[in-house]
Amino acid sequence: MPRTPARVRRRTRVPAPGPPAAGTSSADTAAEEEAHDQPGRAGRALWRRLPLRTAAGLVPAVLVGVWALAHRSLMASGVHDLVAADPGWLLAALACTGLGWAANSVARQGTVLEPLPRLPLLATQFAATAAGQLAPAGLGASAVNLRFLRVNGVPLARATAALALYSLAESCCRVGLLLVLLAANPHALHAKGLLPDGDGLLLLAAAAAAVTAAAVLTLVLAGSLRRAAAGFVTDALADARTLHARPERALALWGGSLVFPLIQAASMAAVARALDLPVAPVPVALAYLAATCAAALVPTPGGIGSVDAALAVALVAAGAPTGAAASAVLAFRIVTVWLPLLPAALTLSALIRRKVL
């Protein structure tokens, strides 16, 4: 009988590891394998050890980019108005903005006894302009300054008291400057249309009374909160007395707090002059101060919306046409906020990475 050929199975053999080549030891072979695997392990270790501070430093720039994309049509309209403006006055407005950061730095130094490093303090105020656009009522800028004080050794309670003292001094100086200019120029603003009348005033009064009553009721019912608030006020007053016992700190606090809104008003007047707004500089400054004081009642991120609307109404009350007032407000927002926004966000990221904040 014929035989059926048997199936031949092919097997692939893995060669057994042979002895190391001549002149190569097992230790050298292990070193070569470790060196070969080193880049992969280094990359994995770098990914695992990516600092949270570095990631946090990238957040402001990303948020600014998203915000700019969302408002690109509005920014394009404002840039179109700026092209025809006087560049000299626009540079003057930009210079006033920079001087405002310097005045802010002086005022911040006046709120604490410890000497703060000057250049990092100035950079922090510049970076705080970006943070201020991301949170309402200046909370972003306050958070940046609080972190800066904590990094420079100021205890949390005293750093918080310093922020409260700055807000109080700046608000008092802003309102006081407005009242002085109004007394010197009583007919610079037309109150009709600028302030609500009738039902509007009644609604504002009712809202203010409700907020005050809610705050008082909360303090009365919450014993621990009341004690904490009383302790904070006591400590803050003690710190304020100590600071005002040193003339250089008191001068820095109140001088910087007074110069800051004055420089901001001058920046608005420079923008109005660049656009040939038919309003004199003093009424423009008055309109800006009145608008910022009124907009403080409606906190929005960076004052966007509340300040813009109040400023447009105030400029119209000062005698500007409606269209020209809107263009001036948009140009002022671009020069003083939007143009420095990306550099400020990058500065904020750098300060976070360098552990200044």
Check residue 38 and give its pLDDT. 52
- In the numeric block, the tokens 């310097």 are attached to 102
- In the numeric block, the tokens 């006081």 are attached to 176
The answer to whether position 119 is within a domain reads: yes
Look up the pTM and report it.
0.72
Q: Find the angle CA(189)-CA(284)-CA(178) to the nearest 5 degrees.
A: 65
Residue type, 142: S
| Residues 6 or more apart in contact with residue 311 via CB below 8 angstroms | 268, 287, 288, 291, 292, 295, 329, 332
Check residue 302 and give its pLDDT. 52
Q: How many residues does the chain have?
A: 357
Check residue 43 and give its pLDDT. 46
Check residue 66 and give its pLDDT. 66
The answer to whether position 129 is within a domain reads: yes
Q: Which two tokens stand for residue 336?
A: 């003083």
Read off the DSSP letter of residue 337.
I
- In the numeric block, the tokens 């430093």 are attached to 57
The answer to whether position 138 is within a domain reads: yes
CB 277 within 8 A of CB 324: yes
The answer to whether position 181 is within a domain reads: yes
Can you tell me the distance from the alpha carbon of 138 to that of 300, in angstroms, rounded to the nearest whole number? 8
The answer to whether position 292 is within a domain reads: yes
The number of folded domains in the chain is 1
Q: What counts of helices (H) and strands (E) characterise the chain?
A: 14, 0
Helix (H) or strand (E) holding 158: helix 156-184
Domain with 166 in it: 54-194+229-353
The answer to whether position 18 is within a domain reads: no
The answer to whether position 118 is within a domain reads: yes
Task: Give pLDDT tens digits along the chain (357 positions).
Answer: 455 555 444 444 545 555 555 555 555 555 555 545 454 455 455 445 545 555 555 565 565 566 556 656 656 666 676 777 889 999 999 999 999 999 999 999 999 999 999 999 999 999 998 888 766 657 888 999 999 999 999 999 899 999 999 999 999 999 999 999 988 888 777 655 455 555 555 655 666 667 677 766 666 666 666 677 777 788 788 889 999 999 999 999 999 999 999 999 999 999 999 998 888 999 999 999 988 887 776 655 554 556 778 888 888 888 888 888 888 888 898 888 888 888 998 899 899 888 898
The answer to whether position 22 is within a domain reads: no
